[in-house]
Chains A and B, each alone.
Chain A
Amino acid sequence: MTNATLTHLQRLESEAIHIMREVVAEAENPVMLYSVGKDSAVMLHLARKAFYPSPPPFPLLHVDTTWKFQEMYKLRDQMAADSGMELLVYQNPEAAERGINPFDHGALHTDMWKTEGLKQALDKYGFDAAFGGARRDEEKSRAKERIFSFRTASHGWDPKNQRPELWNLYNARKNKGESIRVFPISNWTELDIWQYIHLNDVPIVPLYLADERPTVERDGMLLMVDDDRFPLLPGEEPVMRSIRFRTLGCYPLTGAVESTAKTLPEVIQETLLTTTSERQGRAIDKDAGGAGMEVKKQQGYF
């Protein structure tokens, strides 16, 4: 092993583990945001590796919208049990009371359940540092975000006032009311995530692999009819198609792609040969012109 240069995945893994340990050493009450997607899966694996043989010394927080795929809830509970970590599930009570849902409320659904829900959960438990699985290759404004990203007491992000981050030294000192979002896999790309999952047998939601599933086509998106809350429009009839998902969120908002890739290498193959970017399946980035995500983040979206 001496004289051998580390591979890119080894360097990325070491960097992420180093970051997680720094947070645990310096933050008072850290938490890992867990969305059950493939990036979360890698994050959880890295956390287990960072602290082995101890279980990761922080809980998992799932900011739930009640509209995730059933298979996501299943894997979530199983992974929490396997890792020996506490799982906190938070659902915005106001959104629940008002019956906010993706079919009737569009953008308000994401805002209430996710953005507001996250703020409420962080406030409720008093977490001062939250790990997130965002990557810099996902979106233009994320390319400039620090690994330790500070939020004001009202959870806002000020892109012009970010702390310089030199070498691998992270300044985790906070002012009163501030919290930190920490992104240990900032420097990973989508391909790195897939390859890491493949090499380490990281458990992922089966929806990432192609299978026959009930679908309807609506506004150019292929949606999966995951439960009986899905309101079918006149003339709509679920059709079985071989599909898989490139990203996972609320099932009524997440577009599937037609695919026959039933193994990870096949998925990676399709991903590499594809010609549309990953987040395209999500409606969220396209609001407010080119600066959609930047505006959302200033408002506190993760």
Chain B
Amino acid sequence: MSHSTTDPIYVTESLIAEDIDAYLDQHQHKTMLRFITCGSVDDGKSTLIGRLLYDSKMIFEDQLAALESDSKKVGTQGQDIDFALLVDGLAAEREQGITIDVAYRFFNTEKRKFIVADCPGHEQYTRNMVTGASTADLAVILIDARKGVLVQTRRHSYLCHLIGIKNIVLAVNKMDLVGYDQSVFDAIVKDYTEFARSIGIDSFTAMPISGFKGDNITTKSDNTAWYTGPTLVEHLETVEVLSSEDAEKPFRMPVQWVNRPNLDFRGFSGLIATGSVKPGDAIRVLPSGKTSTVTRVVTLGQDLEEAVAGQSVTVCFADEVDCSRGDVIALADNPPQAADQFEATIVWLNDEAMIPGRAYWLKLATQTVSATVQAPKYVVNVNTMEQLAAKTLELNAIGVAELATDKPVVFEPYAQSRTLGGFVLVDKITNATVAAGMLNFSLRRAQNVHWQALDISREAHAASKNQKPAVLWFTGLSGSGKSTIANLVEKKLHALGKHTFLLDGDNVRHGLNKDLGFTETDRIENIRRVGEVARLMTDAGLIVLTAFISPFRAEREMVRNLLVEGEFHEVFIDTPLEEAERRDVKGLYKKARAGQLKNFTGIDSPYEAPQSPEIRVDTTRETPEAAAERIVNLLLG
């Protein structure tokens, strides 16, 4: 190690050697700061992180030897050590010389343990940066002193501000390459201040540094005598961490798990999001609103007198209150709200763009609900901060949109609580995490719609018809035989005295849905409306048959979820594309092949076959008559 042992953070080394117990005592009481570094490769980000690790002795001799030989082979610093090689992890990254994923690094000083999220800077990696920022207490935004405030500086600052990072460090790097000139530094700070104010960043700390030479990283540099502020490490050691701020807020703990080893013990386990809790506290369980008193705060070893934000605990109540995973335990007289319609800021993380109206899983704290997102009100150009009109959210897009959930969600605006305001969206078919979002506020609409109390229940409707309501949902390619078989089924049911109704393209597209075209979004809305109508008809006691291509699995699942359990029967009319195209009853395939029909299922729009339909009809092996007979028998059982 070539660094000076007189640097303040390294006196620990002699302490370790002379009095290990004193050192351990010191280390035991360290706090932790998580921060993110933003900047592109050219800004010297990896060099800075490499420097921090190197200076805090997180690099061992064997790694150093490898580093020295790598530096000579592929480094960009001539015979000097290329610190960037230390942190560019994956093989693909080393080859391309760029950082493509979030990497986490660790180092210690006398006062703190640090976790650095090292994030890529290019625009196509916005999602990686948002990921790294989501757990950060602080952001270091790097600027190349030779280049000043660039488009990417603005983007990084906007994203950090968006995700709620309050401590921002503007690190004007490579000061050695501008002769440590104060006027260069001052001009950049002036530029940045103007921009920061325009996007709502109230304060930040600017410092002149050189990651490569080590100026103002751990020790004040003689080269910048004009700079009177803290060094980077001093600043990192002293700023307030997020969790201490959270402890001051009202108590909230999302319940992860109910702990019930035997009849004598019932506790609720979770990580305290905000505030503190102690025995005797009056609490309220949400969304039910039931109240009780905390009797114990349990952890292995001994009960706690009090626990604060950031701690994982198990609490017990004085009363047998219903409480399970997804509920939130809160201060009794200051609880959060529950709502089912929100305005949210959404960052799209997936290659496949958002589909307005499609149902996604929404996970917020320990709650998982089904949610649909509307077309965005606007998207933000992350380089210029302009608000632009958009129909959807593409990969890396950031937009503001309204969303609705199928059940009330206990929440707080993201600005008040990262835990109760931050959520992810998960695709129901691929299970990919497709978006991250932040709830801005609830739209109070849900509370204004009161269900009309019905004197005649759906059971009464069904009983008067002497039948069990059902939906036979026929799906398959155009020309597969859906309408033909559905018609035969309806005739047979009618002959048996059943009350039925057939919904198909002809009676729906000409009226209810005549405003809809054939784009993906319109097709989804078409199915949603048909599903809602079918639901009303089952409430009226009818057996409903529908014949729509309904190509997307997600929408068929959406309809299934709309209906009473057990009443949805998916009937897959399985006719291979070649066969349907050969039949081409309406001549549509010919037109589609000739390019006269756009978005035609099977040709230039996908058909997602059901994976486990209630009924499957292979029309190459079964006649329509036989299939209809079989369906009736299965339905009436």
Are B311's CB and A14's CB within 8 A? yes
CB of B247 within 8 Å of the partner chain: yes
User: Which one of A32-40, A86-94, A110-118, A264-272 is at the B interface?
Assistant: A264-272
Q: Which of A10, A137, A166, A275 contacts B134 (CB 8 A)?
A: A166
CB of A233 within 8 Å of the partner chain: no
Are B16's CB and A167's CB within 8 A? no
Report the minimum CB–CB distance from A139 to chain B (whole Å). Answer: 9
Interface of B is mostly: mixed
Are B298's CB and A166's CB within 8 A? no
CB of A247 within 8 Å of the partner chain: no
Which residues on the A side are within 8 Å of B432 (C-beta)?
163
CB of A103 within 8 Å of the partner chain: no
User: Which one of B40-48, B101-109, B209-217 is at the A interface?
Assistant: B101-109
Report the minimum CB–CB distance from B296 to chain A (whole Å). Answer: 11
CB of A221 within 8 Å of the partner chain: no
- Given A7-B30, A141-B90, A173-B426, answer yes or no on A2-B306 (Cβ-Cβ < 8 Å): yes
Report the minimum CB–CB distance from B91 to chain A (whole Å). Answer: 4
Are A273's CB and B17's CB within 8 A? yes
A86 and B298 CA atoms in complex are apart in Å by 24
A15 and B311 CA atoms in complex are apart in Å by 8
- Given A5-B244, A6-B311, A143-B105, answer yes or no on A160-B92 (Cβ-Cβ < 8 Å): yes
CB of B241 within 8 Å of the partner chain: yes
Which residues on the B side are within 8 Å of A55 (C-beta)?
261
Q: Return the CB mask of B421-457 against A: 1 if under 8 Å, else 0.
A: 0111010001111001000000000000000000000
Are B310's CB and A9's CB within 8 A? no
User: Which one of A72-80, A122-130, A190-198 is at the B interface?
Assistant: A190-198
Are B433's CB and A14's CB within 8 A? no
User: Which one of B58-66, B152-160, B500-508 is at the A interface?
Assistant: B58-66
Are B31's CB and A8's CB within 8 A? yes
Which residues on the B side are within 8 Å of A159 (C-beta)?
90, 101
Are B62's CB and A173's CB within 8 A? no
User: Which one of A43-51, A63-71, A208-216, A251-259 is at the B interface?
Assistant: A43-51
Q: Please list 15 pairs of residues, one from A and one from B, whose beta carbons are closer than 8 Å in the complex, sorted by A's number.
A: A1-B308, A2-B276, A2-B308, A25-B325, A52-B298, A52-B299, A52-B300, A53-B267, A159-B90, A166-B131, A167-B422, A168-B135, A169-B363, A195-B24, A276-B62
Q: Nearest 8 CB-CB pairs, A to B?
A: A8-B32, A17-B312, A8-B113, A54-B261, A277-B60, A173-B431, A140-B89, A275-B61
Chain B: residues with CB nearer than 8 A to chain A?
1, 13, 16-17, 20-21, 23-24, 27-32, 58, 60-63, 66, 70, 87, 89-92, 94, 100-106, 108, 112-113, 115, 127-128, 130-131, 134-135, 241, 243-244, 247-248, 256-257, 259-261, 265, 267, 269-271, 276, 298-300, 304-308, 310-312, 314, 325, 349, 361, 363-366, 418-419, 422-424, 426, 430-433, 436
Chain A: residues with CB nearer than 8 A to chain B?
1-15, 17-18, 21-22, 24-25, 48-55, 136-137, 140-141, 143-144, 159-160, 162-169, 171, 173-175, 186-187, 189, 191-192, 195, 198-199, 265-266, 268-269, 272-277, 280, 290-291, 294
